[in-house]
Structure 1
Amino acid sequence: MSDESALVTINIDKSRVLIICRDEIKKLLNDIDNEYIFWDTRELKKRTCMSWNTIQDTFFFDARFLKHKVGGKWYYPVKETRNFLEQWLSEQP
């Protein structure tokens, strides 16, 4: 048996691998987001990378921003909040 017959050549389409990786990452992120039905204020601050004061000064009182106060705590429906935040951000100068 010669050394040449033991060689294997693998060709990888890097752009295809990148597309597959992006798709899988999107699926994983969707799975993570689907674990939550709503966020509390701590999670909202984490997801927006904003302080509570900044949130209140920028979008908290926007009529389009859905929120529910239960007892003394605010809750925000995940899907609607994400959609609102994406729209709100695109409107910023």
Structure 2
Amino acid sequence: MLSVTVDEKEARLLFKAKIAEILKEVDAEYVFWDAAELKRRTCMSWNFIQEQFFYHPGFPKRKVGSKWYFPARETREFLENWLSEQSY
């Protein structure tokens, strides 16, 4: 027969630490990115972004005044799909 003992205090501390980590990630996520954030997140130059996918019809972008903004979730999803479609 198998018996398992759980230290409730230790388990509670682990749960709290994990919840705090997840909340920190959620709080760090932007609603939208600007061009500087897009360059930072992709590790690409502005010229490379424009050459590779900026003008792709499915790339989510909005121009507000003279600045470009990119919805964070949609842009991340597009970039992940775009990268997986690139041939080696």
Indicate how the Cα distance of structure 1 residues 50 and 29 shifts in structure 2: closer, same or farther if over 3 A, else same.
same
Question: What code does the residue aligned with 1:41 have?
Answer: A
What percent of counterpart residues are identical? 57
CA-based RMSD = 2.0
Give runs of aligned pairs for residues 11-90 of structure 1, distance below 5 A: 27=22, 28-33=24-29, 36-90=30-84
Distance 1:84 1:31 in 2: 22
Deviations 1:38-92 (A, max 9, x none): 0000000000000000000000001110100010000000000000000000000
What SS does the corresponding residue of 2:58 show, helix, strand or coil?
A: coil
* Alignment TM-score, normalising by the size of structure 1: 0.67
Q: Which has the larger radius of gyration?
A: 1
**Aligned residue number for residue 13 of structure 1:** none
Q: Hey, what's the Cα distance between the residues in 2 that align with 1:74 and 1:31?
A: 23
Give structure 2 stretches of 5+ with no counterpart. 1-14
Structure 2: how far apart are the matches of 1:62 and 1:43?
Answer: 19
Q: TM-score, normalised by structure 2?
A: 0.71
